[in-house]
Amino acid sequence: MNNYELMVIFTPVLSEEEYKAAQKKFTTLVTENGGKVTHENPWGLKSLAYPIQKKTTGLYWVLEYSALSDFNEKLKIQILRDETILRFMATKLDKYAVEYNGRKRSGVPTGTEKAGA
């Protein structure tokens, strides 16, 4: 099983319930196909760098999971069918990225923090 990180930008017109339901839909898709959700981080409403479909903001969501490599094609098909998603990016994580994310979540200094002023 490989480790992956999925970042999704949902349309900003979703209600809070629809936003949570969309997140749940993809986490259950991972677990139903034999994967394991490692971490889930909803960032909420953020400004976009450039307009997408005439929208200047989006609801960001990051999912870290482990799954078999052929699962990503199924995930991509489901994401492309979903009209509430503006953009997405799935990235394969190496062992160093997994270790870094784990340390960052647990609060251990990673060496990339800014010095206090």
Residue 70 lies in a domain: yes
Residue 85, pLDDT above cutoff 80 = yes
Residue type, 43: W
- What's residue 106's pLDDT? 80
Backbone angles phi, psi at 100, to 5 degrees: -60, -45
The total number of structural domains in the chain stands at 1
> Do residues 86 and 79 touch, judged by C-beta distance below 8 A?
no
Residue 55: which domain range? 2-94
Angle formed by the axes of helices 16-32 and 71-81, to 10°? Answer: 160
User: In this structure, what CATH number is given to the domain that contains residue 23?
Assistant: 3.30.70.60
Residue 102 lies in a domain: no
Of 1, 62, 70, 67, the closest CA to residue 32 belongs to 67
Residue 103 lies in a domain: no
- What's residue 110's pLDDT? 66
Residue 31 lies in a domain: yes
Name the strand (E) or helix (H) holding 35: none
Of 71, 60, 2, the closest CA to residue 31 belongs to 71
The pTM (predicted TM-score) of the whole model is: 0.82
Residue 110 lies in a domain: no
Task: Write the pLDDT tens digit of every residue in 18-66.
Answer: 999 999 999 999 999 888 998 898 998 999 999 999 999 999 999 999 9
Share of the chain above pLDDT 70, in %: 92
How far apart are the C-alpha atoms of 43 and 63, rounded to whole Å? 11
41: tokens are: 């981080």
- What's residue 17's pLDDT? 93
Residue 69 lies in a domain: yes
Residue 20 lies in a domain: yes
Of 10, 78, 18, the closest CA to residue 44 belongs to 10
Task: Write the pLDDT tens digit of every residue in 6-18.
Answer: 999 999 998 999 9
Residue 107 lies in a domain: no
